Amino acid sequence: EFTSAKRPEPDKLLPQVKNIIAVSSGKGGVGKSTVSVNLAIALAKLGYKVGLLDTDIFGPSIPKMLGVEGERPYAVEKEGRQLIVPVEKYGIKLLSIGFFVNPETATLWRGGMATSALKQLIADADWGDLDYFILDTPPGTSDIHLTLLQTLAITGAVIVSTPQKVALADARKGIDMYKNDKVNVPILGLVENMAWFTPAELPNNKYYIFGKEGCKNLAKEMGCPLLAQIPIVQSICEDGDDGQPAATKTDTATGLAFINLAQAVV
């Protein structure tokens, strides 16, 4: 179906946005939303103007990760149009379907409702000038991806995977979707998440729980860079639950890992 995706002209819909980056994974639960949120915050820390759109209509998790799940965005009138004002946190502008619907109801939506809601969050929102617009996409290759590809001139894709074989196989499908001749979105690179685990009492040991060098090999095979390797760290999980993602703390090793990721992306 992606062969029928007619690519939009750059700059048509969001002329004030310089770069649109889709963060994708094949498999769910590999840390794609964690990477999206931390990449967005890290880019803002580097001084860029950043927007983040949670396009996971059926399982929006980003408002909770940023500690803004209770927010209800309001609308402003601008040049005769009603525009949704993104929520601001840690220097980034954020919209998520999670702000507008009860997630349990959203899962009952038909595909068409989801895609039209998504289009509204893109076109009818006051995103303003952005250097980077980060799209946290749902797992897999879905209608939502097709809508994004047809609606936005995506500059590049960042693919998140763990080193586990099943995750890598799904990541490869995601890469193939973006590389498809008609779609032709450059792969900016891979992020290996949950790359290893180091227990506090054995600081020099690395345990490769999901396998070793899986993403390095996939990056080589696909001819794209390995942008970062993020270990399994308990605080990444806890900070996500607490609404204070790792990248807000640049004095920690994990915070710095996300700053380095952002530097590799720009």
Region from 11-19, 27-35, 209-217, 256-264 binding ligand ADP, contact rule CB under 6 A: 27-35
Q: Which of 230, 247, 262, 265 binds ligand ADP (CB under 6 A)?
A: 230
Q: Which of 13, 117, 232, 256 binds ligand ADP (CB under 6 A)?
A: 232
Q: Quote the CA–CA distance of 84 and 103 in Å, as a whole number.
A: 19
| Cβ proximity to ligand ADP, 14 vs 50, nearer residue | 50
Binding of ligand ADP at residue 256 (CB under 6 A)? no
Binding of ligand ADP at residue 24 (CB under 6 A)? no
Binding of ligand ADP at residue 237 (CB under 6 A)? yes
Q: Which of 46, 209, 222, 233 binds ligand ADP (CB under 6 A)?
A: 233
| Cβ proximity to ligand ADP, 130 vs 194, nearer residue | 194
Region from 115-123, 125-133, 142-150, 225-233 binding ligand ADP, contact rule CB under 6 A: 225-233
**Chain residues that interact with ligand ADP, rule: CB under 6 A:** 25, 28-34, 61, 193-194, 230, 232-233, 236-237, 240
